[in-house]
Structure 1
Amino acid sequence: MKIAIASEGKQVSGHFGHCEGFTIYEIGEDKSLKKNFVENPGHRPGFLPVFLKDLNTDVIIAGGMGETAQVLFNENGIEVIVGAQGDCDDVIQEYIKGNLESTGSVCTEHQHEGHCEE
Structure 2
Amino acid sequence: MKVAIASDGGNVAQHFGKCQEYAVFDVVDGRSENFSYIPNPGHQPGFLPKYLKGLNVDCIIAGGMGQKALNLFAENNIQPIVGISGEVKQVMEDYINGKLTSGASLCTHPDGQHHDCDGHC
- The alignment's TM-score, normalised by the length of structure 2, stands at 0.86
Give the Cα–Cα distance (whole angstroms) in 1 for the partners of residues 32 and 18 of structure 2: 29
| Partner residue, 2:78 | 78
Aligned-residue offset at 1:31: 2.8
Q: Distance in 1 between matches of 2:32 and 2:116?
A: 38
- Structure 1 stretch 54-63 or stretch 23-32: which is displaced more? 23-32
Deviation per residue, 1:37-62 (Å, 9 max, x gap): 11111100100000000000000000
Q: Which residue of 2 aligns with 1:18?
A: 18
Distance 1:32 1:17, change over 3 A: closer
- Give me the CA root mean square deviation: 1.5
Q: What stretches of structure 1 of length at least 5 have no aligned partner?
A: 114-118
- The CA distance in 1 between the partners of 2:36 and 2:21, in whole Å, is 10
TM-score (norm 1): 0.88
In 1, distance between residues paired with 2:88 and 2:96? Answer: 12
2:12 counterpart letter in structure 1: V
Report sequence identity in percent. Answer: 46
Task: State the Cα deviation string for residues 56-105 of structure 1 (Å, max 9, x = none).
Answer: 00000000111100100011000000011010000011111111000143
Report the Cα offset of residue 111 of structure 1.
Answer: 1.6
The number of residues matched between the two structures is 113
CA distance in 1, matches of 2:32, 2:43: 31
For structure 2, which runs of at least 5 residues remain unmatched after alignment?
none
Relative distance call for 1:67 and 1:30 in structure 2 (3 A) is closer
Map 1:4-83; keep pairs closer than 5 Å: 4-29=4-29, 31-83=31-83
Moved over 4 A (4+): none
